[in-house]
Amino acid sequence: MTTPASPSSLTQDELKALVGQAALRYVVPGEIVGVGTGSTVNKFIDALAAMKGQIKGAVSSSVASTERLQALGIPVFDANAVQSLSVYIDGADEIDGQGFMVKGGGAALTREKIVAALAQRFVCIVDESKRVQTLGRFPLPVEVIPMAAQQITRRFAAMGGQATLRLKDGQPLVTDNGQHILDVRGLSIAEPLAFESEVNQWPGVVTVGVFAHQKAAVCLMGTAQGVQTIE
């Protein structure tokens, strides 16, 4: 189903705003909503401000999203205070036709997976540049314990991937969890479920950025024709 927008030449930023707004219809009044991280989610958070009197609050997947929610007056709950959520709304770096995703471009993948695991439904909001046939075009983010980075790099090399340490201001980027990120190029992830299971059990891997076991139940995709809903 496609909901028409004013057609054709929307910028990527406008497409993100469109899906951020469209995601409001999945927010359940009276409940707590799971909130992801990234520029698309920022559009959703801004739109959510209009509903803040109708929801209890949010569980957030990053310090950045928490700060944005709180600045808009939306209460943020600790994930430990919540047993389940109806819905988790987040962006993605890639999504395929089955709802399998690569995430972690914003380095928040571990907390994103934790909050997504609380939710009955993952609603993914993306612009159409994120759509892929096979996962692997975007460098795969993997959060790792720093002392394991080199052995994990060698394991990816054995499967044809080139892992590089993500830097910020010339230093290893440190995640909200105090760990590092490897970005792995050159992979073609034909079997996301098996891939996620395998990499997740390598010693030192905190979280792999393949979201297959917690795939999107709904994808709201911003296109030149409007918001396409894929379920």
Ligand-binding site membership of 215 (annotated): no
Across 72-139, the runs of DSSP E, i.e. the strands, are 76-77, 85-90, 94-95, 101-102, 119-127
- Of 110, 183, 179, nearest in space to 146 by CA: 179
Residue (of 13, 216, 16) closest to 124 by Cα position: 216
Residue closer to ligand 5RP by CB (options 63, 157) is 63
Query: What positions carry a catalytic annotation?
Result: 112
| CB of residue 105 to ligand 5RP, shortest distance in Å | 3
Closest distance of CB 102 from ligand 5RP, Å: 8
Question: What minimum distance in Å lies between the beta carbon of 103 and ligand 5RP?
Answer: 3
φ, ψ (nearest 5 deg) of residue 47: -70, -35
Beta bridge mates, 85? 119
Nearer to ligand 5RP, 82 or 181 (CB): 181
Interacting residues with ligand 5RP (CB under 6 A)? 36-40, 90-93, 103-109, 112
Is 86 annotated among the ligand-binding residues? Answer: no
Q: List beta partners, residue 37.
A: none
Alpha-carbon span 214 to 61, nearest angstrom: 15
Nearer Cβ to ligand 5RP (46/56): 46
| Residue position matching structure tokens 């290893």 | 172
222 has binding-site annotation? no
The answer to whether 57 is annotated as binding is no
As annotated, the binding site includes 37-40, 90-93, 103-106, 130
As annotated, the binding site for substrate includes 37-40, 90-93, 103-106, 130
